[in-house]
Structure 1
Amino acid sequence: MKKKTAILGATTNPGRYAYFAAERLVSNKHEIVPIGIKKGEVFGKEILNIRDRPSVTGIDTVTMYIGAQNQGEWEDYILALKPKRIIFNPGSENPSLAKKALEKEIDVQYACTLVMLGNGLY
């Protein structure tokens, strides 16, 4: 099943893991919603400015590429997206946000989106 995925911390920089994730998600036919502070396009999708807290519906997965130290102001927004799961990629682990997500019955995974895609576990 294809999963509409919000990429938090999206970037146009091809050297960043968020960019690799966008590329792999698109090549695996998942719809991406890039969200971040960078401007530009990623694989045909405009990066939505997180500061505007863009309204997005139908999100299955939020994949985190924002470090825990920078997530605080966005926690309510992330939870308001009502994803089925949040993947905390290495370096983005946040026990406080994970606890809030679990309280809202959002699945929490400490994993790597790229590895999950590579192993067919996404």
Structure 2
Amino acid sequence: MKTTLVFGASLKPNRYSNIVINRLVSKGINTEAFGLRSGVIGGVQVKTNLDEFQNIHTITLYLNPTRQVQYYQAIIMLQPERVIFNPGTENKEFIGLLEAQGIEAEVACTLVLLATDQY
């Protein structure tokens, strides 16, 4: 089963990362979450240690480009098939680094992809 990692998960229910976790779970998609604070969203444990993740197919980003820089290598080391850059997370530098490693980089909105059955 393909696993999605929501990167930049927020425990605040009105944040898009939180909404996406709930939608992924409701669609039966195996979901993991990484955030600055641990907690539970829609039955998914938000972890604060990237070493706890493996076999990630898709990473959906919810961090602005400035905050992404410190995670470039960690995300590349997870070897996902694709990384989705949600609105506000677009980052040409990081997209270039991912593509150089053979990782698909997609600028899209995960919520829209889910709503239109394109996920």
TM-score category, normalised to shorter length: over 0.9
Identity %: 32
TM-score, normalising length: structure 1: 0.93
What amino acid is the match of 1:46? Q
* Residue 57 of structure 1: aligned partner: 54
* Residue 119 of structure 1: aligned partner: 116
Structure 1 residue 45: Cα displacement: 2.0
Aligned partner of 1:74 among 57, 71, 76: 71
- Is residue 71 of structure 2 the alignment partner of residue 85 of structure 1? no
Paired residues, number: 119
Unaligned runs of 5+ in 2: none
SS at match of 1:78: helix
Unaligned runs of 5+ in 1: none
1:98 and 1:112 mapped to 2: Cα distance? 16
Contact 1:60-1:84 within 8 A present in 2 as well: yes
Deviation sequence 1:38-89 (CA, Å, 0-9, x none): 221112222111xx33231111100000010101111100111110000000
Runs of 4+, deviation exceeding 4 Å: none
